Chain A
């Protein structure tokens, strides 16, 4: 009997010691590498951490070397034009103007990435507005969210729609201002631009000149984005005012021609208004186009070549005429590999420019050239930049369309391979792009005015999952 008691006692002890409280046992594990929303929206520091995280997502190893953030979208645009040639590697299909079908990677990446960032911006705006932060903090921090949302809606509408002046009623990506798990219906180009202008206006109003670093958005950056938007919309006064405000109004103070040959990898450059910064421990490695593609003098893809015809447009003394031959063994100028550029130096900690002062100067110049009575101002402003870049520059006698064309060419010479300037201008001005020179893929990739190839189809995955969007959305794309 005593024996049985002992045994039962031991068994009971074993059970007691081990069973414990089951719910407590299951509640114990908590995530260690993530934090709850209440940590974020209870202090300005928390919100700034969220903003920093969003800025970091401007680059990332998303799906592929050609889908690595904003830089990939910009570089794909650069390749659609006539000035740059891509060898048969990443971005090959963008270069062929053939990367637009509903199941293709460019289509799904541009869509999903921009909307991912818009969703982050919405979380920021709504989280800040619902918070108990000080009113001044709320205004500035939500303005940051509006700037982001305006910027990414602008990239979306550029990627997926004909330009503003072509068809304002054309179906445009859905508009979201709240977090949502169900899809919304397509909007129109006009709706999207109204939202963009509204968001960026709030952003300009709420932001100040101060910011956490040059990779962040401040008032000047928001004005720069708005200038680009007005440039597309044809609001020339708005474009001129905002561009001027973005660079500060004194062109020579914000130009540093020597820096043009310093590798385009340093965000502290006075010409950079806004960029995406990297560090060795925060690197996108080889996914960092254009530098990882364009630099032929270090270990990387060595994929970017420059069209002979474009090289020939630079005068020898232009600081931007920084081209070299790929190899002395390539003797035929019809070989697409004849010229390479030294504009970009590729390193793992190299930064990318998003908005630079010359672009703003040239937006102001273009806008003024189109405003009656301001043509002289425009011409003078253009010449300031030209003289800055080329000590031997001679002021042209161009007026009217010829002056505008000269400005547009100056934009290409200044900004090639950075932000897709040639494509951006052809698209908004409803012109075609005809490939000339030594292209690897020539006429097959030409773009006519208002060509459907200027925009992408709506991703199949969106059509499949969104009850408001069906196959017919791509019938006219």
Chain B
């Protein structure tokens, strides 16, 4: 009966709309917010498309017909739509879009009002996303939300950052958070998502909020919700286009130039002759002068002996002087991005269509990322009890990814820091003159010209030329991602709904490598092509029954959910050798050297329930429980049970605070729960799908005979890793929510770690993956937002967020063990450096010294330290430094003056240390021949009595640059991560172009960086290790955004 009544009302409303057409009148009024009238507010009549702005007193006047919809919009305020009725005077109050407890937040399997949340959820809206050029959307979380620590992937666009939510909770299982895209686990590549298609990203951090993803929520969950249309809205077309340039975000290490290089190398040779081989100083100098060129293999100078017996340069005239960094790094890399979106909605159907094109060149020459993504969402109300909708998403990208990080010979950054400027990029003859090919072109010098005594054999990276490899090799990745996500929602009864959601995604990953037939590492087999194609298919089905009921002051909610997840990987690869020049597809190979292929499947079946209750929207409690079965574990132990409970109290609703002039919002909340992790993986981070099965592995063929070997030892009872998580939080708003904030304390303990327990190597296995060990992460998170100034003309908002994370190993199977330059031990963190301590340089002979623990007669440490010049005697100790920062965070300032606005985001990290092995290699001091050196080497010891921290130069074996605290540096930094400066044209100015919005803006990313250790990007790795990573980019773009 009531339903029928509603129908009639709607019909009447529609009819009245029809009747009242064509009666245009002038509507006027004042637009204000709670601080007073607002000038410059855009007002658009959606029907006539006429737009105007309020004047300085907030007044407006616009022509409209009854039934027209006026949209009031203003930056920092929520849009307000008002349908014109009988009145001609309409005063409008806009609400600040700053967070308040009434805001709707996307949470697990649904939405909640902020005030009802009992767990810890951080949300990032499109307003923040659009003020950064996040090629990988995840980087936008950095500095914007608490509890998330992110390390960018370096200078290759399209690579995804490493993300840790509330610390590292696993040792051998994956610590990556679960990504949920529009309600379903996302299996594709994160870089296929364009940030401007995202409405919000929610980071679920504690047990309560992630519990419904309990099977994989232990490392936190990131929910990505993409944009959708709105019912009853006129079509809006939005176009955004930006073009920019990028270069290194921070300067490189400073290297010694050719002239000084030759002189210093002479000095190293002389020192070795004099101090190691006991020659007289004069003889040592003469021999050093004689041997310098043969030591280097190349001579860029016009003189045969460029350095004389006294170490002076005979000439500075050179035939070449190679600036590898200038050749190989792109300091004017182009970035282009264009977006078109269309959205609209009728009464019962809405849609959103968007397409985005991005092209970005990387830090290293020839590296490039091109991507097109298209997304369409349609939602429709079929009738009063059935709703349905679908999202379709297709993304294709092409990444040219020359080797630029790591330790392969072709690795660009390593090359810049290893091969000095005295080696030529192009081949030269014995006299140092260029050698040209038949067409008169220069030939890349690979430093391996057989039979050429001089200028033909480079001692470092022999038979390679990383600059040439950028052109002679090809490494490319192609990714195609197709996602279809549909739902059907039935209203079974007024408070009871049933929703079924099916998400399907297909991801094609093609990796391709070509190594030249003429030069380099595969030239002896005339080139090699390796191509791998992985097709992954993910299907996720969710059936949810939701019941909501309110009786007076009591509100209940019940969700019963069934979920099935199915993942399949189908891998195929081929490799061939023997190619003609310029043929680089497998068809051209003469020797097909390898084929490979396999499939793997992963499934999870889940049943879950959530019960929530609140009294007067003041006291909230919530509990959830789920059971998950994973195909990665044996049938006996595959089911895991997870649960969470939480509660919150809205203190500000109590009578004693209700009308308090200072405290406007105050809420305490707490949660506890246990979550799971089944992400078993090998040492390289590749998923292990059957970690509990003892098998014989195929692929070990011996010539023509099929071969298998016994796989590693397994624990047949391997099961879920569990994380018990406690969260206590406080949300507050002061002075009518002018100041809002959140404080959280968390304590996460992961137990039964999926851990590669060391077993004695003598058993034939070095480890077995089993459930042992425990890790604890705990810390504080603080967020503060403030509207500092809010006048009609000028707005200034500030936000700051801080995360303090601590890590502790709670249980191991053995007292301790060494893991690289760390030692893992109960009570310590995973990140504390444990290494030899540097004791400086002995002024008498210039040799390096380290500390060793003094031992008493019975071999116990006395606690005192003595110096030693023998590196092998140096003691390793905890050195009081950690690669885990004390605090990471961000600072945002937003300014608006009339039509001009500016957003500035800084992010920072304090208290971490980094072991710079690149710098260590640059401080080798000519130990091995022909390697680049840092300018700091100029401070070397030269004469007895010299007080310095740099040992004497020796061209002979020594431990001077071996691992020690000499190369361990504080790695604090502050980065101007994003700056957005824009101008919005007033509606009156653009009206005649039939535009509703026109914005011009400048966007700068990583514009400025302060760092305590220079030469490398401060973002390296959680372990505090460097790996010759290509440099993060500084991007400066200009853009335009228009809507009509």
- Write the residues of chain A forming the contact surface with B, with a CB cutoff of 8 angstroms: 3-4, 7-8, 10-11, 14-15, 18-20, 22-23, 25-37, 39-40, 48-57, 88, 96, 101, 103, 108, 111-112, 115-120, 122-123, 173-174, 176, 179-184, 212-213, 215-216, 277, 279-283, 286, 297-302, 327-330, 335, 346-348, 441, 459-462, 464-466, 469
B567 to A, closest residue via Cβ? A29
Contact: A111 with B761, CB < 8 Å? yes
> What are 18 A-B contacts with C-beta separation under 8 Å?
A22-B629, A25-B603, A31-B690, A33-B698, A40-B708, A49-B705, A49-B707, A117-B764, A179-B764, A182-B759, A183-B759, A213-B703, A213-B704, A277-B703, A280-B591, A282-B702, A346-B524, A460-B818
| Other A-B pairs beyond A53-B701, A116-B764, A461-B760, 20, CB < 8 Å | A23-B635, A25-B564, A29-B602, A31-B690, A33-B699, A35-B696, A56-B707, A108-B761, A123-B710, A176-B762, A213-B702, A277-B703, A281-B594, A299-B520, A299-B524, A301-B462, A329-B454, A460-B817, A465-B758, A465-B813
Contact: B705 with A48, CB < 8 Å? yes
Contact: A31 with B492, CB < 8 Å? no
Question: Chain B, 533-570, contact with A by CB distance < 8 Å: what is the 0/1 string?
Answer: 00000000101010000000000000000101000000
Question: Chain B, 517-532, contact with A by CB distance < 8 Å: what is the 0/1 string?
Answer: 0001101110000000
Q: List residues of chain B with CB within 8 A of the CB of A18.
A: 500, 541, 543, 562, 564
Contact: A14 with B957, CB < 8 Å? no
- Known contacts A34-B696, A347-B524; A299/B761 CB under 8 A: no
Q: List residues of chain A with CB within 8 A of the CB of B763.
A: 115, 119, 176, 180-183
Contact: B603 with A115, CB < 8 Å? no
- Known contacts A18-B564, A25-B603, A26-B605; A56/B761 CB under 8 A: no
Q: List residues of chain B with CB within 8 A of the CB of A56.
A: 700-702, 707, 709
- Known contacts A31-B689, A49-B706; A115/B768 CB under 8 A: no
Taking a contact as CB atoms closer than 8 A, the residue among A179, A286, A346, A464 that contacts B758 in the complex is: A464
Q: List residues of chain B with CB within 8 A of the CB of A88.
A: 928, 957
| B601 interface hit (Cβ, 8 Å) | yes
Q: List residues of chain A with CB within 8 A of the CB of B601.
A: 28-30
B709 to A, closest residue via Cβ? A53
- Docked complex Cα distance between A49 and B701 (Å): 8
| B577 interface hit (Cβ, 8 Å) | yes
| B693 interface hit (Cβ, 8 Å) | yes
Q: List residues of chain B with CB within 8 A of the CB of A3.
A: 385
A113 to B, closest residue via Cβ? B761
Contact: B708 with A53, CB < 8 Å? yes
| B638 interface hit (Cβ, 8 Å) | yes
- Docked complex Cα distance between A375 and B278 (Å): 49
Q: List residues of chain B with CB within 8 A of the CB of A119.
A: 710, 763-765
Contact: A26 with B703, CB < 8 Å? no
- Docked complex Cα distance between A54 and B520 (Å): 32
| B685 interface hit (Cβ, 8 Å) | no
CB contacts under 8 Å to A, within B559-611, are 562, 564, 577, 591-594, 598-603, 605
Taking a contact as CB atoms closer than 8 A, the residue among A11, A51, A57, A460 that contacts B492 in the complex is: A11
Shortest C-beta distance, A94 to chain B (Å), equals 14
- Write the residues of chain B forming the contact surface with A, with a CB cutoff of 8 angstroms: 294, 385, 448, 450, 453-454, 457, 462-463, 488, 490-493, 498, 500, 520-521, 523-525, 541, 543, 545, 562, 564, 577, 591-594, 598-603, 605, 629-631, 635, 638, 689-690, 693-711, 713, 758-766, 768, 813-818, 872, 928, 957
- Known contacts A18-B500, A329-B294; A7/B710 CB under 8 A: no
Contact: B525 with A348, CB < 8 Å? yes
Q: List residues of chain A with CB within 8 A of the CB of B524.
A: 298-300, 346-348
Taking a contact as CB atoms closer than 8 A, the residue among B493, B629, B705, B817 that contacts A461 in the complex is: B817
Q: List residues of chain B with CB within 8 A of the CB of A27.
A: 631, 635
A180 to B, closest residue via Cβ? B763
Contact: A328 with B764, CB < 8 Å? no
Contact: A35 with B698, CB < 8 Å? yes
- Known contacts A18-B564, A280-B525; A115/B764 CB under 8 A: yes
- Docked complex Cα distance between A215 and B817 (Å): 39
Shortest C-beta distance, A318 to chain B (Å), equals 26
- Docked complex Cα distance between A375 and B766 (Å): 49
Contact: A299 with B463, CB < 8 Å? yes
- Docked complex Cα distance between A22 and B545 (Å): 19
Q: List residues of chain A with CB within 8 A of the CB of B599.
A: 32
Contact: A37 with B694, CB < 8 Å? yes
Contact: B294 with A182, CB < 8 Å? no
Taking a contact as CB atoms closer than 8 A, the residue among B488, B709, B818, B872 that contacts A14 in the complex is: B488
Q: List residues of chain A with CB within 8 A of the CB of B707.
A: 49-56
Shortest C-beta distance, A243 to chain B (Å), equals 26
Shortest C-beta distance, A470 to chain B (Å), equals 12
Q: List residues of chain B with CB within 8 A of the CB of A10.
A: 490
A329 to B, closest residue via Cβ? B453
- Known contacts A18-B562, A53-B708, A57-B700; A118/B764 CB under 8 A: yes
- Known contacts A36-B696, A50-B696, A115-B763; A29/B758 CB under 8 A: no
- Docked complex Cα distance between A88 and B930 (Å): 12
Q: List residues of chain B with CB within 8 A of the CB of A176.
A: 762-764
Contact: B696 with A37, CB < 8 Å? yes
Contact: B631 with A26, CB < 8 Å? yes
Q: List residues of chain B with CB within 8 A of the CB of A460.
A: 817-818
Shortest C-beta distance, B1018 to chain A (Å), equals 30
- Known contacts A327-B453, A329-B294; A31/B702 CB under 8 A: no
Q: List residues of chain B with CB within 8 A of the CB of A282.
A: 701-703
Contact: A26 with B630, CB < 8 Å? yes
B568 to A, closest residue via Cβ? A29
Shortest C-beta distance, B569 to chain A (Å), equals 10
- Known contacts A115-B763, A183-B762; A39/B492 CB under 8 A: no
- Docked complex Cα distance between A112 and B705 (Å): 26
- Known contacts A31-B689, A184-B762, A461-B761; A215/B696 CB under 8 A: no
Q: List residues of chain B with CB within 8 A of the CB of A174.
A: 760, 762
The 7 lowest CB-CB distance pairs between A and B, nearest first, are: A119-B764, A183-B760, A29-B601, A329-B453, A53-B707, A52-B707, A34-B695
Taking a contact as CB atoms closer than 8 A, the residue among B630, B638, B697, B817 that contacts A34 in the complex is: B697
Contact: A31 with B490, CB < 8 Å? no
B761 to A, closest residue via Cβ? A112
- Docked complex Cα distance between A56 and B500 (Å): 51
- Known contacts A32-B598, A53-B709, A299-B521; A215/B703 CB under 8 A: yes
B605 to A, closest residue via Cβ? A22
- Docked complex Cα distance between A103 and B872 (Å): 12
- Docked complex Cα distance between A198 and B499 (Å): 71
Q: List residues of chain A with CB within 8 A of the CB of B817.
A: 460-461, 464
- Docked complex Cα distance between A450 and B448 (Å): 42
- Docked complex Cα distance between A346 and B602 (Å): 43
- Docked complex Cα distance between A11 and B600 (Å): 32
Contact: B492 with A4, CB < 8 Å? yes
Q: List residues of chain B with CB within 8 A of the CB of A32.
A: 598-600
Contact: B708 with A466, CB < 8 Å? no
Contact: B696 with A14, CB < 8 Å? no
Contact: B761 with A11, CB < 8 Å? no
Contact: A213 with B705, CB < 8 Å? yes
- Known contacts A181-B765, A441-B957; A280/B492 CB under 8 A: no
Shortest C-beta distance, B929 to chain A (Å), equals 8
B757 to A, closest residue via Cβ? A465
Contact: B492 with A7, CB < 8 Å? yes
- Docked complex Cα distance between A158 and B710 (Å): 26
- Docked complex Cα distance between A176 and B463 (Å): 45
Contact: A96 with B957, CB < 8 Å? yes
B813 to A, closest residue via Cβ? A465
Q: List residues of chain A with CB within 8 A of the CB of B492.
A: 4, 7-8, 11
Shortest C-beta distance, B567 to chain A (Å), equals 9
Contact: A465 with B498, CB < 8 Å? no
Contact: B600 with A28, CB < 8 Å? no
Shortest C-beta distance, A321 to chain B (Å), equals 22
Shortest C-beta distance, A304 to chain B (Å), equals 14
B818 to A, closest residue via Cβ? A103
Shortest C-beta distance, A387 to chain B (Å), equals 35
